[in-house]
Amino acid sequence: MHAQVGHLSVASLREACSQCNLRELCLPMGLTESELGQLDELVNVRKRILRGQHLYRGGDVFEAIYAIKTGFFKTDVLLEDGRDQVTGFQMAGEILGLDGIGSEKHTCNAIALEDSEVCVIPFTDLEDYSREIGALQHHFHKVMSREIVRDHGVMMLLGIMRAEERLAAFLLNLSQRFTARGYSPTEFNLRMTRNEIGSYLGLKLETVSRAFSRFQDEGLITVHQKHIQILDVAGLKKLLSERRV
């Protein structure tokens, strides 16, 4: 498909962390110029993952974490009986693979939802560098901690919110993350199917579809396939805060 090898080495030089336009979102956040230069040595391999392909699978040996340079991923966990749960959707600047550190094996699958490129960060190297660079160490800890807080947020979704609240929270979260990346807060394309949204939100795809339709009827959003336009951000937020008993 792509002349990978040739392109990669060139890309490595030209697109190191110090030049990356995601450096304020991604792992290098808060580093000085010279520290950034050191990072360029750490993160010098990139990997292209086509839509539908796995970046890693549950059970794979853990060797590296991955920073998403471009593209969009989902992570999911499979139960033996075939049921599965999407545990997250990740976009540019976010880190994949943190689940694998504890057991030295990946504990979920990471699958590209569109053609994507990730920066490979060998984990022992990261630990070595972060013993040298305090700011890197600290930022890495923050990244992990935020992942825990994010998971707590999902637990709230799943534990106490009703279907429409879950979907509203989901849309607002996407909106906020797109905004942070310089995209429109109110208009975007979903990269995942209704089924994947449902799996993430603990709902069936029909329920997701109905909630989208209801939001549209109420003038909160417009939906055309995967294209979403948020018409009434405040209205969505109100759905979250007001408990109609």
Does position 212 interact with DNA (CB under 7 A)? The reply is yes
Does position 61 interact with its own copies (CB under 8 A)? The reply is no
Span of 42-50, 149-157, 172-180, 224-232 interacting with its own copies by CB under 8 A: 149-157
Burial of 244 (0-12, 13-18, 19+ CB in 10 A): exposed
Write the DSSP string, 203-240. --HHHHHHHHHHHHHTTSEEEETTEEEES-HHHHHHHH
Q: How far is the CB of 56 from its own copies (least distance, A)?
A: 14
Does position 109 interact with its own copies (CB under 8 A)? The reply is no
Q: DSSP character for 62?
A: P
Q: How far is the CB of 80 from DNA (least distance, A)?
A: 17
Assign 68 to helix, strand or coil.
strand
Q: Which of the choices DNA, its own copies, none does residue 138 contact, using the CB cut-off of 5 to 8 A by kind?
A: its own copies
Write the DSSP string, 158-205. HHH--HHHHHHHHHHHHHHHHHHTTS-SSEEE--S-HHHHHHHHT--H
Does position 203 interact with DNA (CB under 7 A)? The reply is yes
Does position 170 interact with DNA (CB under 7 A)? The reply is no
Q: How far is the CB of 160 from DNA (least distance, A)?
A: 9
Closest CA to 42 of 120, 100, 104, 95: 120
Binding site for its own copies (CB under 8 A): 77, 79-85, 87, 98-103, 107-108, 127, 130-132, 134, 137-138, 141-149, 151-152, 154-156, 158-160, 199-202, 241-243
Binding site for DNA (CB under 7 A): 162-164, 193-195, 198, 202-210, 212-213, 223-226, 245
